Amino acid sequence: MIIIAINKPSEKRIQEKDLETILQESNTQIGGDLNSKHPAWGSRSTNPNDRIVYKTLSKITGVNFYRPEDYTTILENGTQGDVINFLIGYRTKKIQSTQTLNHLLSDHFPVIITMNTHQQQNTRNKRTKTDWIKFQYISHKISGQPTLENPTKIDEEAQKIE
């Protein structure tokens, strides 16, 4: 997994090509302050960067937006700001939750991202060469209909003919 932290100044424009280049790698996360407002990620207003970000990301299959339910900025007069801190995930399904931490004395609130880091084991069967002569010998010694109650028993019996 690639995690990229961004803090884009409000006076700078996001370049479409930069986003495309960053998101060429699978399992990429881009998070932080993109100074980009768009209803798709919960902003109440828009700005010039939102159109660039939204247009670029709409063209890429496998992109997801992860944002907290709460706003991530506060205005100078102390009123609720907007959502400009969020996470873009590309071909990833590891995000469990997002939350705004609004305890700091700043006009920006950090966003806590909780990721599922548990890796699934490869469930593919490993291929082994069966000893068919041994199989014939064992199968002739079996009488009746044997039962194998669980996967462990099956694995134990299979090990005998490898």
Mean pLDDT of all residues belonging to the chain: 78
Give strand pairing partners of 33. Answer: 7, 85
- Distance separating the N- and C-terminal Cα atoms of the chain: 37
CB atoms within 10 A of CB 66: 19
In sequence order, the 6+-apart residues with CB closer than 8 A to the CB of 103 are none
pTM: 0.58
Helix (H) or strand (E) holding 95: strand 95-100
The per-residue pLDDT for 128 is 66
Confidence of residue 83 (pLDDT cuts 50, 70, 90): confident
How far is it, in rounded angstroms, from Cα 34 to Cα 13? Answer: 10
Q: Domain-by-domain residue ranges, the chain?
A: 2-115, 127-162
CATH architecture for residues 2-115: 4-Layer Sandwich (3.60)
* pLDDT above 70 for 127: no
**Residues above pLDDT 90, as percent of the chain:** 0
Q: What is the dihedral of CA 16, 1, 27, 65, to 10 degrees?
A: -70
| pLDDT tens digits, 32-79 | 888 888 888 878 888 888 888 888 888 888 888 788 778 788 777 877
Centroid of chain to Cα 50: 22
The per-residue pLDDT for 65 is 79
The full length of the chain comes to 162
How far is it, in rounded angstroms, from Cα 56 to Cα 58? Answer: 6
**Residues above pLDDT 70, as percent of the chain:** 85
CB atoms within 10 A of CB 92: 20
The per-residue pLDDT for 122 is 58
